Structure 1
Amino acid sequence: MNGSGPKQIVWPRKLWLLLLIVGISTALFFVYDFIRFKQQIKVLTPEHRKVVIIGHAGRAFFSPFNPFNPLPPNSLASLLKALREDGADGLEVDVHVSRDGVPVLYHDETLNTMSEGKGKIENLPAASVIGLAYKGGWPYDFFHQEKIISLEDLLRELQKLPEFPDLHLDLRNYTLARDAYFARSVLGVLRKFHYPVEKLIIVYAKPELLDAFRVIEPRVKLLLDIGPDFEGSLKTILANRLHGLVAEGKQINVSQIKLARYYNLQVVLFGGKARNTIYKMVLLQPDAIEVNNIKALRKIVR
């Protein structure tokens, strides 16, 4: 019985020692990380810093931390905060066209994934889609009341800015026969707001829809959304006289980008939430990055 007293004193001491070690280790890590970050920044040239910062679907996708983002992709709050608070140079948005020809902003193929609706937008009238509540699940829905908006809703807000930002339109079309209808619907809204063509980039994974845009507006930049097959994609780009490519940052390398530059192609990368991932994309010297963490990219290049 008498031996139990000292043990009760030793354990609190061990706990405090452990907490002290953890605290010192954490502090040293942050100091090291800060010093390394400063060294990385010094390596960057003015050419690296020219990269255009594009908010990927606004503030990107639902994220629990680094950074915390409860806003749905393509929602109005996400898009406007990317510009006004995070300091993006422009926006990337995902565009569907409803059955009755209204461009609608939504990321996924069907409404089932992130909203209270169901089905594909191209099969539904706009009135049954615009205004549907986004559903991100717990805990995100406690922090937002966002609803699906149209491209026109966004443009109405963008025209209030001192100048229109860069705008990348990532197309969502699932029926080849609708290509011309899709292009007319989207360009019609853009022309209504007199959106500068030089500020626009149209992105899609197949050249046929991109060509439908070129028929109506020959000046618009057309970029192919590519996958892992860089060589095959490059052949498609050159054969169809497209202006460049959009690729996930981790699926492309320096030599491939140099080859794209040889053909005077524009290169846009997307993705990146962790600072090191974004830094690696910056080193590749793309024209623009559609980034998931705008503030981190700004700290690197600005």
Structure 2
Amino acid sequence: MTTSPAELHPCVAHRGWSGGAPENTLAAFKLAMTEPAVYWIELDVHLSRDEVPVVIHDGTLNRTTNAKGRVRDLTAAELAKLDAGSWFHQVYAGEPVPTLEQVLYLTAGRCRLNIEMKEGTPDADRFAHRVASLLRAYRREHDTVITSFEPLYLKAVKRHAPEIRTGLITDKRPTSLIATLKSLEASVLSIAFGHVGPSLLKETEAARIQVMAWTPNHPRDLARLAAMPQPFQICTNYPDRWLAAVQKGSFTP
């Protein structure tokens, strides 16, 4: 049986369909799920002041909301009252900062999740416990991967929920990368797409490590990745461009 390009290189919608809606909002996640070929959504999580996992990329509110200051200084209820959509387009005015629980409810049975635990929470165990407990409550342990740049977070996840898959995020490719992944019990490598090539994919395949390439958005980069014969995920802001790449195999500049 021949594997289709879409199956070979599954699309992960980066912060939702963030090229078409404000990143890390319910609007972006809903938009991503309108494309039947998108099976994965990537999102970012911090803890609020009341220790609720909330979905936002930055540790501060300045870039993507109408407020300033640190995410961890506000409660989840206070964050829900902010405008996290107007910066993108006025049509999304009033889009709130969602909780992870809202996203789990929205995507249940519809889409798998790649949850990045963002740096900034000093208590790794508490952070891991809050996230893992929600995944268990919604029975999402087996269709979710938790990723982070911070190895301490990944170790904490494995202490609290060894059944949940974890992945290390990196924008480098040191010679010790596979050994590091093994030491963390991580089965996923989330790596900047410029490092993805035959030699890396050969190494990760031998080690049974799944690869996700982030974040190619230019049509030429997507086309190059989609043409590779080895399986790996492509995490992009533009699932439509990904779909064109895997369907046609090339783009017209």
State the TM-score bracket (shorter-chain normalisation): 0.7 to 0.9
Q: Does the C-alpha gap of structure 1 residues 85 and 260 become closer, same or farther in structure 2, counting only changes over 3 Å?
A: closer
Amino acid at match of 1:59: W
1:70-219 matches, within 5 Å, as: 71-85=21-35, 87-134=37-84, 137=87, 140-145=88-93, 146-159=95-108, 163-176=109-122, 178-195=123-140, 197-219=141-163
CA–CA distance in 1 between the matches of 2:185 and 2:90?
47
Report which of the two structures shows the higher radius of gyration computed on alpha carbons.
Answer: 1
Aligned to 1:262: 206
The residue aligned with 1:283 is 227
The aligned amino acid for 2:89 is D
**2:17 alignment counterpart:** 59
Deviations 1:131-177 (A, max 9, x none): 3102554xx33232222111111222223xxx24111001113133x
Opposite residue 193 of structure 1, the aligned amino acid is Y
3-state DSSP class of the match of 1:256?
A: helix
Under a length normalisation based on structure 1, what TM-score does the superposition of the two structures give? 0.74
Percent of aligned positions that are identical? 24
Q: Name stretches of at least 5 consecutive residues in structure 2 with no aligned partner.
A: 248-253
Stretches of structure 1 that go unaligned for 5 or more consecutive residues are: 1-44, 62-68
The 8 Å contact of residues 230 and 256 in structure 1, kept in 2 or not, is answered as no
Question: After superposition, what is the alpha-carbon deviation per residue over 1:112-141, rounded to whole angstroms, capped at 9, x for unaligned?
Answer: 11112222222332222123102554xx33
Per-residue CA deviations over 1:9-51 (Å, capped at 9, x if unaligned) read xxxxxxxxxxxxxxxxxxxxxxxxxxxxxxxxxxxx7264422
1:272 and 1:192 map into 2 onto residues whose CA distance is 33
Q: How many residues align?
A: 243
What CA distance in whole angstroms lies between the structure 2 residues aligned with 1:238 and 1:117? 41
| Partner SS for 2:38 | coil
**Which residue in 2 is equivalent to 1:244?**
188
Query: Is 1:56–1:291's contact at 8 Å kept on the other side of the alignment?
Result: yes
> What amino acid does structure 1 have at the position aligned with 2:182?
L
Q: Deviations over 1:151-207 (max 9, x none)?
A: 111222223xxx24111001113133x111111111222222222x22111110122
